[in-house]
Amino acid sequence: MKKIYQILFEHSSEVMKNAYSPYSKIKVGAAVITKDGYIFAGCNVENSSYGATICAERAAITKAISEGFKEFKAIGIISDRFKFISPCGICRQFIAELAPNIDVYLFNSDGKFKRFKIKELLPIGFRI
């Protein structure tokens, strides 16, 4: 049976190829795995109005939520540029609210990873 990090690495690196990033030229992929083992993957989708850009992490989680999934085990993130891309502040806030106990795997291109709890990446996050 495949390990969770292998599944996340495979799906995030595959979806990364679909990135729409004509402005930054950076490709990012993210894959989230639900409590029951379903996988949703997303890439960054940029826009000429830069602020409308959607990051890969939010694309993946939004797909899962839209399909009715609410509980998440882990998310994996990879890019074609950075070793161990680190999620932006908006994505940390987004992940923390929808998946407060999720494990976050940051991959490099070899499939090596660093694993964090979202609470480590966003301590004392904002909540209403």
Phi-psi region of 84 (alpha: psi -120 to 50; beta: other; left: phi over 0): left
Judged by CB under 6 A, the stretch of 22-30, 66-74, 100-108, 114-122 that binds ligand THU is 22-30
Active site includes 57? yes
Smallest gap from residue 127 Cβ to ligand THU (A)? 20
Smallest gap from residue 93 Cβ to ligand THU (A)? 11
Judged by CB under 6 A, the stretch of 7-15, 50-58, 62-70, 111-119 that binds ligand THU is 50-58
Q: Which residues bind ligand THU (CB under 6 A)?
A: 21, 24, 26, 28, 44, 46, 53, 55-57, 87-88, 91
Catalytic residues: 57
